[in-house]
Amino acid sequence: MLKKNAFRQRLRLPTRFNGAGLLGVDGVGPAAFVGSVIACCEVDTVLADNIAGLERFAAPAIRLLQARLAPLGNERVNATLRLPLEAPVDLFSPARYVEQDSKTNRAPKMQQRWGKEIHAAAARRLGPLEAALGDCDLVASQARAKPVGPILNLRLSNRFNRFTPAQFVAWFRWQFRVPQLVRLGSAGADGVEQCLGRCTKRDVDLYGKHANKGCMATLAARGGRHSRLKHVVSFHGAKAGCVVSWVKEETTPELLLHQFSLEQCQAMFPKRAKVKLAAQARELERELRAAATLAPAEREAKQRELSVQLEALVESVEDGAGLRLDGTLSHLPSGEQVWYDTTTVHTTCSTKLTAELAFTRKRQAAGKEGKDMQSAGLMAVHKTKLDRYALLAALAERQALDGLRSTAPIILPVAVSTHGEFCPGAVRVQEWLTGKYRARLLLEGDRDDGEKTEDLTAAFRREFRASLLVASCKGLADMLLAAGMPFAGKRAPGWSSASGGRAHAPPPSAPPPPRPPLLSSVRGSEAVELSDDEDQCSTASSSEDNDGEDVPPRALRRSARLKAQTQARTSAAARTPPPRTSPSSSGAACCADSGADSDADSGADGDEDSDADRSSGAGAWRARVQPDSGSCKQDSSSSNSRICSSSPLSLVICDGFPVVT
């Protein structure tokens, strides 16, 4: 009964207080009555002269308003209602509410102002009630982000913003901490359904812990969530005029300009970098950046010294897990690059709940200053990502100092919490893309539709944030719907259910034969709208951090994936690629019609990562993997997308804008 009461009160709050916006008339009724009388007195002189006739309503209205605003404290209540009054009927006098600096000498809309205060008081009254329900309820209810408003106000003209009924119901119930609909039929005496798989902790809880901690049935949804986030960044990067590339583990040597082999790249980047290693890498990065400003003679000596230190740091890495970047954004006019890595954080999972609970209480105690404090679990993942790629940033900085790069890339994590909060890296990527989009609009000049640059850039920023939020919420909904289901997938070699599913990996096989370097590239011409409900996602494409205990070792999955990719590429190399399409006489380099949407998924191979990238719709994005940087394969199903082959560069069309790639 206590939980049901809290749920009903939460639904009746506005979306800015993490409610559902189902406002009740009984809550704001007194404010609406008094506010309407005040507004009428300013335009109706007869009512203003006979206001004493409403004296019998004044005292009850004051008592009701004081009762609604009581959680805010007496001082704030008196300031809001301008108490004390000489007579109760003075509550209806418009002159009492005119601001001193008002230029119109009119009273503000008191109904709106008092309504906001009443809702704030209701939210404060609900806080102790939810805190008594449990730690997860407290953390979820006091989350800094408020995703309900943006989700309920999405433009459904964009197909990516459309949830299926099952997705929306699952997400809505999780957001307001209501048990999911009965799906498994395995509820115990306490009413909690039990997982039908082989998970060690079988309770399918309403907070999403089981779904986010590694239930085998949620692997496909987990991969789809990660792919959606990656596609959202890629789509908006192409829209901003950037060349967008997706990075796979076997193609990471191209990121470092082939100075290191694939085996070296796999060994030099740990999954969780030690604090000392990350600090040393950041110090070397700063020294390398400072060395670029020295005189030539001093620069060479300093460069040799720092190169020796960097090589020693690379050799000291232990337990390398491979480079796990998701993609790159290259802005050709400025020469700037952003390397990004997407992930999602569930802040109420078992490993993060204690720290998140302490942070929530600290933020509550800070008052207004606590509004700018970000989630402890989200910031921990943000820092972990930066530490993991600190050595990569130092290596890229050295290449810039050596003249191999025009500028060093910016490496940023794009982490989104399940409650809709963005890490600083995601905000920085958002502002970087918005700046490039603004530069593109200024270069194109005035538009025929009369839209202003400021309005378009603001809409671009809102769309980017909303798309990231939709990608996270859809993925979470799919995981909630799949949690607890029986899992019939094949396990990797060496997998064992003993010790929580962690088994020793089999001896590594011989290294694959050498092959030409490859970088999966996504062109802006392929950025056409994609409906998210058309595809299924691969189960092994996710590179997100996993808090669970029932997931097979990553090294085994990665080994199997690399073996399959090597066989696929060896067979593909034996086939002669078809000739490239010649440029048209009109000079149009690339075009795409509505038929490309239905054919872009044909010809899928056995590559798990590319399957997930291609199959999960994200932010109205359709991607095509280029087989080789020197050749362009093109099957019959993509004949309506023509790429110019007259030069090493390609002119592509993204959202109606030409982009040179």
* Span 456-471, average pLDDT: 96
DSSP3 helix / strand / coil % (the chain, rounded to 5)? 50, 5, 40
**What average pLDDT does the structure give for the chain?**
78
- Report the amino acid identity of residue 87: A
Highest-confidence segment of 357-371, 446-460, 608-622: 446-460
pLDDT of residue 574: 56
Per-residue pLDDT of 254-276, as tens digits, reads 888 988 888 888 888 877 788 89
- Decide which of 131 and 655 is more confident: 131
Average the pLDDT over 560-571 and give the result.
67
Nearest to 379 by CA among 347, 339, 404: 347
Check residue 367 and give its pLDDT.
83
Separation of alpha carbons 17 and 333, rounded Å: 43
Indicate if the pLDDT at residue 278 is higher than 70: yes
pLDDT value at residue 38: 92
Between residues 350 and 579, the one the model is more confident about: 350
The full DSSP string for 38-49 is: HHHHHH-HHHHH
Consecutive H or E run containing 328:
strand 327-331
Please tell me the predicted confidence (pLDDT) of residue 558. Answer: 58
Three-point CA angle 433, 435, 441, nearest 5° = 105
C-alpha distances in angstroms, 197 versus 355, 483, 487?
Answer: 30, 9, 6
pLDDT-based confidence at residue 343 (cuts at 50, 70, 90) = very high
Q: What tokens does 627 get?
A: 């087989």
Angstrom distance (rounded) from CA 607 to CA 610? 6
**What does the pLDDT average to over 559-568?**
66
Grade residue 432 by pLDDT with cuts at 50, 70 and 90. very high
Q: What is the pLDDT of residue 580?
A: 43
247: its two tokens: 């990075």
Residue ranges per structural domain of the chain: 2-133, 217-489+520-660
pLDDT digits (tens, 9 = 90+) for 603-625: 333 333 333 343 333 333 333 33
- Provide the pLDDT for residue 441: 95
pLDDT band for 167, please (50, 70, 90 cuts).
very high
Q: What is the Cα–Cα distance from 130 to 450, expressed in whole angstroms?
A: 49
Q: What is the share, in percent, of the chain residues with pLDDT greater than 90?
A: 44
